Structure formats: C-alpha cells, structure tokens
Chains A and B, each alone.
Chain A
Amino acid sequence: MSRSYFLELAAKNLRMPIGADLVLHQHRDPAAILLDGPRLGDVIAEAAVSFGTPLAFPIMDLKLEKAWLLSLLGVPATEVDSYHFAEDPGADTVTRLVAGLAANPPPPRVAANLAALRHVATTTPLYPVGMSIGPFSLATKLLADPIMPVYVAGTGATAAEDPEVALVERALELAQTIVLHSIQLQLQAGAKAVFIAEPAANQVFFSPKQLETGTDIFARYAIAPNRAIADLLVAHGVDHLFHCCGEITDQMLTDFCSLHPVLLSLGSSRRLWEDAAIVPADIVLYGNLPSKRFYSNQLTPPESVKVMADELEAKMRATGHAFILGTECDTLHVEGCGDIICNKLHRMLNLIPPIPAE
C-alpha cells in the first residue's frame, strides 16, 4: 500500500490523462493488439511514457467482465452485449459461475489484459495498474431495466417479496463474484494498484429524493460490494483507486470516501475544489477536465484546454488538497478525431508550447 507514493505524485503536480485507448488506436492493428498481451503491455507503457506519468493505466473496457460472466453461463458471444436477465436466474447460477471461473481460463481479451499487466510489471519501471468495472455498475448491465428494482429495493421491499429486487440482488451477487475473481487474477499478474470504475453509482440509479428518506440502499448496493474490494486490496497491500464519473450527491461522495481509496477520480460535473472540503486529506483527488468533449474543437477549443487545466490546478492548489490533474474518465479514441483529442491532452500536459503573443 503506497498511499504516500500517490501523495508524492500529487505533490509533484503530476498531470496525466487516462488515455491508453488513444495510443492503441495510433497503431495500425488495434484489434490484434488487444489480444496480444505483450504488445498490449507495450502500448500501455507507451501511453504512460508519452503522457509523462509513471502510472501504467490499462484500457478501460467496462464490457469485459459482463462478456466473461455470460460466456461462463452459456450465453453465445454474439448475444452478450445485449443480453439481460429477465428474472432471477437462481442461486445455482452463482454456483455455476464460481465453478466456471475455477475450471476455465479467462477469455482471450481478459487473458491479454493479464499478460499485459505482467509484461508492464516485469519489463518496465512503471507502476502497473489493474482495472475492473465496479460490481454495481456491472449488475446494472445485466438487467434490461436496472433503475426500478433499485428504487423498489429502496422502498424496503426485499428479494423474498419482490421478483425485481430478487433479480437485481442476484445480478449484484454474480457481478461481485466475477469482479473479485478478476481482481485476484490481476493481483497475481502484478498489479500494484487497481482502478475500480463504478460509473453507475450515481443519482440516475439512486434517487437523491429517495435517499433523503433514510434508505440504506446506496450503502447496500453501491458501497458494500466495493468495501469488499477495498478490503481485498488492503489485505494484499495494493492501492485502491476508485472512479465514478456520474453525477453524484455530496453524501454519495462522502460514502465513496468511506472506502478510503488512495485516489478518487470524479467526473466533470463535480467542482473538485469544493469537494476537497469533503474528501479526507490522504485521498488524492484525480480529474476532471471534460475530456468526453475533447473530440470536437467547437465544443472544446484547443486553446481552452490549457486555460481550464491551469485554472483547475490553481483552484486545487489553493485548497491544499492532494490532487492530480487529469481527465474525467478514460479518454477514448473517436474515429476521425484521434489527433484532435491527442492535441488537447498534450495541451493539458503542457507539451505544446503556447503561441507567443505578437
């Protein structure tokens, strides 16, 4: 556990995007690289080096665990993206999943990610970071309508009383099982930190109005599964990096902080300089330039990026809170816009000198 390492990086005013996907797409065969662990590891390392960070962040593909889970339950690969459970698949499904995970090697994409982690850990001086979708966010991907069951559960209905609650709770159990397994494999592969992306733990899925009534649904569905992850990582001396780019309330932020991650990454809807008052001093705040809009020069003029970056950094410096300036999420490649996005990341990193005044 090297909380101090992240605090040092923050103290050195590190700026870094999460952007391996962009670098991947600068290569001529990205699809092939995604299946080739050592080459993928090289791309991750290339991204870290080109962005000037010692942290080797992998590709943030939040569809992997769903595909893996469903493949072990016999869902054809062509159907996994759109597949949803229509009803509680039953407790034996969890048993089947556990048995399937024990008996089968991970699917090719996951295996390549693990090999890439191992490659980074063993052949570079970089800090290898693992990645997984959070259990709640994965559970929402397993249901056609995940919002209503969460709301119904928030009214106090139990799985025994309501089939929708039974469904969402089983989905959560399945999600938790595969996420913990995925993390265990990443630890074995040499991850020194694991980035948990939990974008659905937000006020779309959890009504602030309902939460005001005192329901514990956010604690039970969003926080408790992540506490199990936090405990696992602490037990292995591995850094817990937690991410939610959704719109959240201050109470949700406080609940995230109760997980005591080393680093907390938030979306651009948050004012980090105000959040600094809520977040404990030993949790590094990360983010949160609006990188989802970097693909368009009309939405985000290139010259505005440095201004935004400098302003945010100055505001955060004024708070005294540990902070790493970065992007609001994974900065994904957008077809035809790769150069535009990269240009803005370079401006964020001060790698492009300003145009001299006339």
Chain B
Amino acid sequence: MTDPSTAAAVAAHADQPIGPGSRSLWQDTFRTLIRRPDVIIALLVTLFFVFVALFPGVFTQTDPQRCDISVARIPPQWFGGQFPLGTNQQGCDVLAQVVHGSRPSLLLAFVVVGCSLVIGLVLGTISGFYLGWVDMIISRVLEIFLVVPLLLAALLLLSMFRNVPIGGPLASIVQPAIVLTAFGWMGYTRYVRASVLETKNLDYVMAARVLGASDGRIMFRHILPNAIGPVTALVPTAIAGVIATEAVLAFLGIGVRRPAVSWGIMISDGSQWFTGGSPHLLLVPLTCLLATILSFVVLGDNLRDALDPKLR
C-alpha cells in the first residue's frame, strides 16, 4: 500500500523547485522577499522576540519568580507603575513573566525544529540515495511513528514520564523537546528523500559519480545542498507549530516544566481569569504568542512562494 502521507508529501512537493544553481535561487528569493512589507514586519517582530528571549534583562529587572500574593491580580499600570503589565493570581509580575517566558517557548521551538531537520536531512538523504533495504527500514520505522499522532504520543509519553527527574540548564524543556522531535522528523525525511530522488539522476551528480567521487561527497556536496531548498520553506511554519503546540501541552500540564514560565503556561493559567475580571492575564501572553506565530507563518508562506518558480 502506498502511504497516503507520501502521496501528500509528493503532491505538496511537486510545486517545489527542481534545483537549479542554488546560489541564484537564494539570491532571487532574497530579492523577492525583501521587497514585501509584510515580510519586513514579520521579520522585525520575529527578531524582536528572539532578542527578548536572548536578553530578558534589557526589558525587566524583576524576578519573575518573586511573587507576593497580597498584591495579586493587579491590572496593568503601564509606564511608571511598579507592575507595568499588572500581576497574576499568585502576585507575580506579568511583564517579568512574559519576558522570561519567551525563552522556553522559543528555545523549545528552535530545538525541536532544528533536531527534526537534522534527522530528516540525514535519514532522507541516506534513504533516497541508497534505496534498497536501507530505504525499506527507514520507511518502516517512519510508518510506525506516523500511525501514532504527534499530540497523542506527546500526551502519553509526557504524562507518563513527567516525574522523571532531569537536571541541567535545559531541564525544563528536555522532555517535550525529545517527544516532539521523536514524532516530528518524519515529514522532513520524506521531503528530503523525494528531492534526493530527483536530484540524484541529474547530470552534474552523474558527472561527479563518473569522476569517482565518494558516496559521502556526492551526498553532502552535491545532493544535499539542492535538497535543503524545499525543506527550508517548512522551517518557519514548523517553528510556529511547535510554539502553538507548547501552549496546548501547557494546558494539559505536560509542557515546559514548572517552575519555569513559558507563554503556554501563562496562557493556560490566565485563560480562566479572562472571564474572571483579569483579562490581561490571558491577553498579554496570548498577544505575544499570536504575534510570534503569525510572523513565523508569514515568513514561511512567503519563503515558500518565493522558492516556488511555478507560482511567480
């Protein structure tokens, strides 16, 4: 049986470029993108939040974990007040939390997409290049992971292992990162495999082969650079997806590990207060989340359109 998602991937892939000289493609893409105002705005928003995540100290000096319940649920006081964005139910400073909360949310997204991409590139290239039994094994494994839906797997695994103690600086995001990566690499693998299959028989690869280049050299110098193109377009959208997923996991209590604060945790804690007289507890983190996701998706969509010669 042909796998439906392969068909979907191939169908979706059909509007991707078949690697011309990669440099000119990237230059073209860049030129197309830079002319669009929505891309500029999206890029600025993205960079802003990445900056916030990297340097939270620039935006707030307050410890997000210092909470005084006697000043709980103060509405935003804006500039000049002690709590510019108010305080939450526990009396913690919302500004400090939303600033510090950006880091786990974004870090998780980058780590998950980064790792999935690397796995996808390696497995996809190997599988598309060698075919035969290697391809078969990878495809079988891939199918097993495909049958279990990502979020279902995340629900099961994260709640089963949420109490296993983990140390280190990344402790708060390690578990969701592993699970989301484990069930997120399949798409990239299929994309890469499909483009490797197409690139493999192009003249210049043939030429390299005839000239006696090693398999490794052909794969990584000649095939991979061409296969990366279409996959790149997936990255911003995927990052947006992980940020959204984190919020859902946080609602179920299995996302970023407390006491670390993430946007998802803030949204799920604050959502009930939206109707309970403190709407800022939901609106502040939700605005940041939506702005970030929207920016990444706009970037992704435009990148995809720009990389697609058929749609020009």
A and B from one complex: no
